[in-house]
Structure 1
Amino acid sequence: MIQARSNTTPTITMRQPHRTLKLGLDYALTIPTLLLIAPLLLIIAALIKLDSPGPVIYRRRVVGRRGREFDAYKFRTMHIDGEDRLIANRDQWMEVLTGSVDSDPRLTRVGRFLRRYGLDELPRLFNVLNRTMSLVGPRMMTRAELLKFGHRIDGYCSVLPGMTGLWQVSGHSRRLDDRVELETRYIRNWSIVTDVQILMQSVVVAFAVHA
């Protein structure tokens, strides 16, 4: 059961038995998955190093539970001089803003492939292992994003951000109000059944997009 607490900054807390259930689900799915895809992770890492200079892992500084900052891991998909490449190709800015993978000059060849199939986010499974993220939860935010509108989401920092979540499986609406409503609904109505349903929907969405 998730309870709301009335004060100047509304927060939602999750009871310890439910936290234990969520932890159990994360580990039960993450550890076997990492063991299964370990060869794939090594192959991707090698391809990134062969394709362009720079680190294999990109670290994004975001806000987690209790407002603590941490590095969210991703495979690097951009050239290390990506912003300079974008400035040199200003005619492509509009396509980049719409999220077009094929026309983004910042992306490496391997990066385009990883982005297209969502493989760049696989290293976040290690974030799940170190308990900075969960498999399911609100979409992660940077400190700047949290300061901008995070206060509108009750208890946003009371739970771990997720690799996937209700907002992602509901169509990635660009409207801020839609995201706030979905994230708040997830936090308020959390259950282990909800997490399992969202994980199943995420798999279905992934196959539908890339079929």
Structure 2
Amino acid sequence: MSSLNTNTNIKSEIDIRKKANYKTEGSDNIRTKKQKKYVLIDGHVYDFLKRSFDIIFAIMFLMIASPVMLVVAFLIKLEDGGPIVHARICIGKNNREYKMYKFRSMIPNADQMFQLFTPEQMERYKVGAKFDDDPRLTRVGKFIRRISIDELPQLFSVVRNDMSVIGPRPVIEREAAAYGENRNKLLSVKPGITGWWQVNGRSDCAYLSDEAKNLQLYYVDHRSMGLDIKILLKTFKVVFYGKGAR
């Protein structure tokens, strides 16, 4: 009888321990799922807030800047009679192509006018550098570039969800390929009108240099609403002082 009671007690203790372990493991699983869910929700919240900000900012800024944009369009047309905007095929989020528009700041067919470059200018062009003495720039173009007005049509790309107000600099296929194994990382987010590279290097740092690439990828790794706000505030300062604008 004593032996039977002992076996019964041992069995009961084992059952209790199994139940305790099950509850502990179950609680851990629940916590893990909650943590994963929290991270997922946090990412969705950031994306929602960012997209909401993009739409509101782009529409409001277009309304405010529309008189300026009309004047710029008139001056560009008046100077040489060429197109008002310049469109280029860029590579956006998830390697999707889209058309990015800017006010034209160069002579028509500027992409075919490399013969105007000096050898030194050609070398700077190859590494993605911009320069004040670019012979292809128009008089109006020099002015609108200096204060970044040429970027304003990109707000339409933001409304269409091709771009964000803040993100990595838009790239064409040749520039995207230069990122090598980091290409997909760069293109995992929408490109922006302004970004970490623009406020830290901009035209003072050639956009195909290692420094520029590191600045672009830094944003991808650390993007958050806090960093976006910081970039936006620095953008106004950079534009106001004209630092690096070309």
Quickly name the TM-score band, shorter chain normalised.
0.7 to 0.9
Distance 2:120 2:178 in 1: 28
Structure 2 counterpart of 1:5: none
Distance 1:153 1:198 in 2: 23
How far residue 176 of structure 1 moved from its aligned partner, in angstroms, is 2.9
Distance 2:176 2:241 in 1: 31
In structure 2, relative to structure 1, the CA distance for the partners of 1:45 and 1:181 (3 Å cut) is same
Which deviates more from structure 2 when the two are superposed, residues 168-177 or residues 71-80? 168-177
Higher strand share: 1
Q: Highest relative contact order (Cα 8 Å, sep 6+), 1 or 2?
A: 1
In structure 2, relative to structure 1, the CA distance for the partners of 1:147 and 1:104 (3 Å cut) is closer
In structure 2, relative to structure 1, the CA distance for the partners of 1:17 and 1:88 (3 Å cut) is closer
Unaligned runs of 5+ in 1: 1-13
Structure 2 counterpart of 1:30: 58
How far residue 16 of structure 1 moved from its aligned partner, in angstroms, is 2.2
Partner SS for 1:54: coil
In structure 2, relative to structure 1, the CA distance for the partners of 1:20 and 1:88 (3 Å cut) is closer
Kindly provide the CA deviation profile for residues 14-47 of structure 1, in whole angstroms up to 9, marking residues without a partner as x.
9322111100111221111110111111111111
Unaligned runs of 5+ in 2: 1-41
Q: 2:73 aligned with 1:45, yes or no?
A: yes
Residue among 130, 135, 143 paired with 1:99: 130
8 Å CA contact retained: 1:58, 1:73:
yes
Q: What root-mean-square deviation, in Å, do the aligned CA atoms of Structure 1 and Structure 2 show?
A: 2.4
8 Å CA contact retained: 2:146, 2:242:
no
How far residue 86 of structure 1 moved from its aligned partner, in angstroms, is 5.0
Higher helix share: 2
8 Å CA contact retained: 1:58, 1:75:
yes
Partner SS for 2:108: coil
Matched pairs, number: 196
In structure 2, relative to structure 1, the CA distance for the partners of 1:73 and 1:189 (3 Å cut) is same
Distance 1:155 1:82 in 2: 31
Residue among 131, 134, 154 paired with 2:164: 134
8 Å CA contact retained: 2:95, 2:184:
no
Structure 1 counterpart of 2:143: 113
Structure 1 counterpart of 2:193: 163
Name the larger-Rg structure: 2
Partner SS for 2:75: helix
8 Å CA contact retained: 1:85, 1:105:
no
Alignment of 1:80-99 (within 5 A): 80-82=108-110, 87-88=115-116, 90=118, 93=121, 97=125, 99=130
Structure 2 counterpart of 1:10: none
Which deviates more from structure 2 when the two are superposed, residues 148-157 or residues 47-56? 148-157
